[in-house]
Structure 1
Amino acid sequence: MIRVLFLLLLILFSCETKPVPEPIRYGKDACAFCRMITADAGFAAELKTKKGKVYKFDSIECMAAFILKGEVKREDILAMWVADFAKKKLIPVGRAKFIISEKLRSPMGLNIVAFESEEDLKEALRNFGGKVVTWEEILKYVKEKWKEKLKA
Structure 2
Amino acid sequence: MKKNILNTGILVVLIMVFMACEKKDSNNPHEMHWDRDMCVRCKMVISNRKHAVQVINPESNKVYKFDDLGCAIKWFRENDIGWEDNAKIWITDVKSGKWIDAKKAYYDTTHNTPMAYGFSANEKKQSITDNTSEVLDFNEVKKRILERKKQ
Query: TM-score w.r.t. structure 1 length?
Result: 0.74
Question: Where do residues 3-152 of structure 1 align in structure 2 (5 Å cutoff)?
Answer: 19-50=27-58, 51-75=60-84, 77-101=86-110, 104-121=111-128, 123=129, 125-126=130-131, 129-145=132-148, 147-149=149-151
Q: What is the deviation of 1:18?
A: 7.4
Q: Which has the larger radius of gyration?
A: 2
**Paired residue type of 2:49:** A
Could you say if the C-alpha distance between residues 77 and 100 of structure 1 is closer, same or farther in structure 2, counting changes exceeding 3 Å? same
Q: What is the deviation of 1:111?
A: 0.9
Q: What is the deviation of 1:70?
A: 3.1
> Secondary structure at the residue paired with 1:73?
coil
Q: CA RMSD in A?
A: 1.9
**Structure 1: gaps of 5 or more residues:** 1-16
**Paired residue type of 1:41:** R
Q: What is the deviation of 1:76?
A: 7.2
Query: Alpha-carbon deviations, 1:10-62, whole Å to 9, x = none?
Result: xxxxxxx6710102111110001111000111011110002111000001111
CA distance in 2, matches of 1:90, 1:99: 16
CA distance in 2, matches of 1:94, 1:72: 17
Q: What is the deviation of 1:74?
A: 3.1
* Contact 1:83-1:114 within 8 A present in 2 as well: yes
* Contact 1:47-1:77 within 8 A present in 2 as well: no
Identity %: 23
The structure with the largest helix share of the pair is 1
Deviating above 6 A after TM superposition, structure 1's stretches of 4 or more consecutive aligned residues are: none
Aligned residues: 126
The structure with the largest strand share of the pair is 1
* Contact 2:106-2:136 within 8 A present in 1 as well: yes
**Paired residue type of 1:19:** N
* Contact 2:57-2:83 within 8 A present in 1 as well: no
Could you say if the C-alpha distance between residues 76 and 95 of structure 1 is closer, same or farther in structure 2, counting changes exceeding 3 Å? closer
Query: TM-score w.r.t. structure 2 length?
Result: 0.75
Q: What is the deviation of 1:75?
A: 5.0
Number of the residue aligned with 1:3: none
